[in-house]
Chain A
Amino acid sequence: MNTEEKMALAGRVAADVPEGAYLNLGIGLPTLVANRLGGEDKEVILHTENGVLGRWIDAPEGEQDPDLINAGKVAIKLLPGAAFFHHADSFAMMRGGHLDICVLGAFQVSADGDLANWHTGDPQAIPAVGGAMDLAIGARQVFVMMDHVDREGNPKIVRQLSYPPTGLGCVTRIYTNMGTFEPSPDGSKVKALYIAPELTFEQVQQQTGVEIDFSMLIETLKGY
């Protein structure tokens, strides 16, 4: 995705975050969602694993405090109404089901909502996990934000994970540059909620590793 496509995708995810939601944004692509939330018109409370709950923006040049950073180690500037807490409390919030939504990147998502985003499976890779596993199972809803296919053109929405899992059955919705999809409990297909208007259903199906159920969109189109 180019920058414009990434921002458009972030906008689509942000539109599904209601006012008053407690939201955690994973590092990488998901951080773009913060800029598209709607500022003062729609108040959303952010959570960062390293101990802040509240509203903030990236700290402008000259206002960067090394003791005030987010999970991506980026300096932030707080708006009024924030709270600090330690790591056990932070993860209690995450694991205890208090966060409404977390937005995460992924290598793959399976049709029944398994998530792979912490390890490529390369035995030579240095493993690192951070808070990914806690977030994946703890948030009430997990939105995945990712490219529809990987760099080699392989589908990232798959029947079954081939990458090491981060969490099982935990993904609520998948947002890609091609559309928005929902896993199904039996893992037989994913349901399309939205397809980018310049694409045909067939084009999208071809780049997806499992059957897509387009029936909801077809029903909507029938209304026209």
Chain B
Amino acid sequence: MINKQISCPEEAISRVKDGDTVAIGGFGGAGSPNILIDTLIERSEAKNLTIVSNNAGENEEGIAALLKAGKVRKIVCSFPRMKNSWVFEELYRKGELELELVPQGNLAERLRARGSGIGAFFTPTGYGTALAEGKEIREIDGVHYVLEYPITVDVALIKAKAADRFGNLIYNKTARNFGPVMAMAADITIVEVSEVMQPGELDPENIVTPGIYVDYFVNI
């Protein structure tokens, strides 16, 4: 019988290896899979990770805690600099953390591309700016585009509202954000949910992430 639910997050987090690229969902605090992140900090030996996320964490929780734990070599994100991002700032200024700054739309689309088998795509975003430097440019129908490549993701840690045993997911309001595209992009997708549904309880019409993209979920 198919059942993607696991009882303890450590079971799934053990799949994270040294040097892995880990995509972490969330926009600010909304949708941040804090239990999974805490498990990664406390129960995993994996280090030299590359984190893909919209932000770089605030205060000393979530991604900031992960950075503080010294497990991260590089962060791929669109907006690392928030009011309380002192952990990121200090590590970055000391040269202990590499930053790849990516426009938010490119972050979303590069993840979607990876999940969709797209080899590369042209986007108008960033043309003529510092973030297009060194990249291939093409003019198509009078508009300039920049060539962007998918982001390879080993593991995704995301937060959803509810799952059924097939891994079908629904999310909660703006906590959805990157979850669905990270679920598609990653080789291994681990989800924290707050509700487990019986098969059929979730209307097929309204499922946001079909279970094909999900490997493990834990009810927190």
Contacts and interface: CB of A to CB of B under 8 A. Distances in A.
A204 interface: no
Interface string B103-135: 111111101100000000001111111110000
A84 B105 contact: no
Nearest to A124: B93
Interface string A10-54: 000000000000000000000000000000000000001111100
Contact of B177 (A50, A130, A132): A50
Interface in A88-130: 88, 90-91, 94-95, 114, 119, 126-130
B108 A91 contact: yes
Given A67-B30, A134-B104, A129 B173 contact: no
Contacts of B108: 86-88, 90-91
A67 B129 contact: no
A45 B52 CA distance: 31
A188 B104 CA distance: 33
A68 B30 CA distance: 8
Interface stretch (A147-155, A160-168, A173-181, A194-202): A160-168
Contact of B27 (A50, A127, A134, A165): A50
B19 interface: no
B123 A128 contact: no
Nearest to B104: A131
B104 A66 contact: no
B123 A129 contact: no
A144 interface: no
B79 interface: yes
A131 B105 contact: yes
Interface stretch (B9-17, B40-48, B178-186, B210-218): B178-186
A89 B173 CA distance: 14
Most buried by B among A85, A86, A91, A128: A86
Interface string B176-211: 111111000000000000000000000000001000
A128 B81 contact: yes
B175 interface: yes
B104 A129 contact: yes
Chain B interface size, as a band, is: 35 or more
Contacts of A50: 27, 30, 174, 177
Interface in B150-171: 171
Interface in A58-102: 65-70, 73, 84-88, 90-91, 94-95
A133 interface: yes
A142 interface: no
B92 A126 contact: yes
Contacts of A157: none
A129 B78 contact: yes
Contacts of A132: 103
Nearest to A116: B129
Contact of A67 (B89, B102, B175, B208): B175
A49 B108 CA distance: 11
Interface in B37-91: 54, 78-81, 89
B112 A88 contact: yes
